[in-house]
Amino acid sequence: MSSYSDHIATVQARFDAALEATGFDSVLVYAGQPRVAFLDDNPAPYKVNPLFKYWLPVTQSPKSAVFYQPGQKPVVFLFQARDFWHAQAEIPTEEWQQHVELIVVDDVDKIAKHLGDKLHTTAFIGEDFAEPVASWPVQSRNPQPLLDHLHYHRAIKTTWEIENLRYANELATKAHNAARDAFFAGASELEIHHAYLAAINFRECEVPYNSIVALNEHGAILHYDIYDHKAPAEARSFLIDAGATYRGYCADITRTYTKQKGFFADLIEAVDAAQQDLLREIKPGVEYYQLHVSQHLKIAQVLSDFGFVKGTAEEIYDKGYTSAFFPHGLGHFIGLQVHDVGGHLRNDRGDSYPRDERHPFLRLLRPIEEGQVFTIEPGLYVVDQLLEDHADSRDINWDRVAELRPYGGVRIEDSIVVGANGNNENLTRDAFAKLG
């Protein structure tokens, strides 16, 4: 059997279990459709429902749907409008078509007419803001117990999913290298962004999220995505957080660079070493929260070694200083979505881990299991808003902080496939190594 054949069998089994557990006879997964801007007729870029592309690698066919009833072949309603205004997305012949009943429709109403009375016992998953979908007489719309069951189990990736994630990382690392070269050539943020897209022949709407392309102090803005059109007089540092997609699966990579030798170059190397040191701790059974705390202690050691904060790593962490320099979570699940869901689910019944007061932005609290894929992305930044809480501290070397401020900060991010006994795969570093 092929990896996709195994994948769709796993998806069916997971939907079988979810439907049985939640009392639904069938499910209709709607691909979604574009929304127009307020008081306008221009649509925003279309993003497919992740649970639709869970079934098949079709990401540019809005108004399509998958209908699944346990024990029967999935039915794919592929929408192809009779429309002389717009080009239709080309759907090449691929293996997934061998595993479904494919019905091409040119009117969304034909989906409901084909299903008839089955709609009354069907759970609908997807956006339903537009007619006729909003009026379909389904049993339930986006029932949370069904979503929780599905989201909990899709944290364990199939071989086919990992293959797609691997290739998405190979695309993204190629683009990252092009962006790095543009930085060293003196490009502006916008020019670097264009170099990134050109390297993999992507439109801006095809990357999985707004790329962070930050020069100098912009590296301290965690989700910076403004892009200056002119290069700064002096480009001291470059932080890029950007990804790619392949068959609907996402890569999410961050790297930090500098043109200068000395303090900031050494800091990049230290954060990178702290991240790689943490990677050795990843194995099934470990709590991801435990990894997060361990990374904070390693960042605390960096803060001590570089003279930012006085004290031992434990003292720096216990006093809360690391949260000012490293405020975000260590990472998140990744797959069909950049921030893949289910990171707080305790089980498939929807019970959740409470958000931690000390680390409220951590997106993943589950124990680590073989087959999970998640990011590891420590950082160290000068965020003045957060340092205000420690303005009177004598432990912080404010002169050293001021020295870092013009560089913004450092972040390093890789995606990890959890293997047995710590035999993990680093999708990101392997992809960079493959480029040479």
Instruction: Please state the domain extents for the chain.
Output: 3-155, 159-435
Per residue in 19-53, pLDDT (tens digit) is 999 999 999 999 999 999 889 999 999 999 999 99
How much of the chain exceeds pLDDT 70, in percent? 100
What percentage of the chain has pLDDT greater than the value 90?
Answer: 94
Superfamily of domain 159-435: Creatinase/methionine aminopeptidase superfamily (3.90.230.10)
Residue 287 assigned to a binding site? no
Give φ, ψ of 395 to 5 degrees.
Answer: -75, -25
Q: Does the annotation place 241 within a ligand binding site?
A: yes
Model's pTM, two decimal places? 0.97
- Using DSSP, state whether 105 is helix, strand or coil: strand
- Angle 328-331-336 from CA coordinates, rounded to 5°: 125
Length of the chain: 436
Measure Cα distances from 148 to 121, 248, 315, 375 in Å. Answer: 19, 21, 39, 22
pLDDT tens profile 185-229: 999 999 999 999 999 999 999 999 999 999 999 999 999 999 999
385 burial (CB, 10 Å; 0-12 / 13-18 / 19+) is exposed
252 annotated ligand binder = yes
Q: Tokens representing 215?
A: 């020069």
Phi and psi torsions of 214, nearest 5°:
-125, 120
Mean pLDDT of 369-384: 98
Tokens of 159: 């071989």
Identical fold for domains 3-155 and 159-435, yes or no, is no
pLDDT band, very low/low/confident/very high, at 173 (cuts 50, 70, 90): very high
**pLDDT bucket at 84, cuts 50 / 70 / 90:** confident
Query: How many angstroms separate the Cα of 378 from the Cα of each of 239, 287, 293?
Result: 13, 17, 11
247-265 per-position pLDDT tens digit? 999 999 999 999 999 999 9
Give the torsion sign (CA, 200, 201, 205, 210): positive
The CATH fold assigned to 3-155 is Creatine Amidinohydrolase; Chain A, domain 1 (3.40.350)
User: Residue 14 carries which side chain, given as an amino acid letter?
Assistant: R
Give dist(CA 151, CA 146) in Å, integer. 9
- What per-residue confidence (pLDDT) applies to 122? 98
Task: Read off the pLDDT band of 155 (50, 70, 90).
Answer: very high
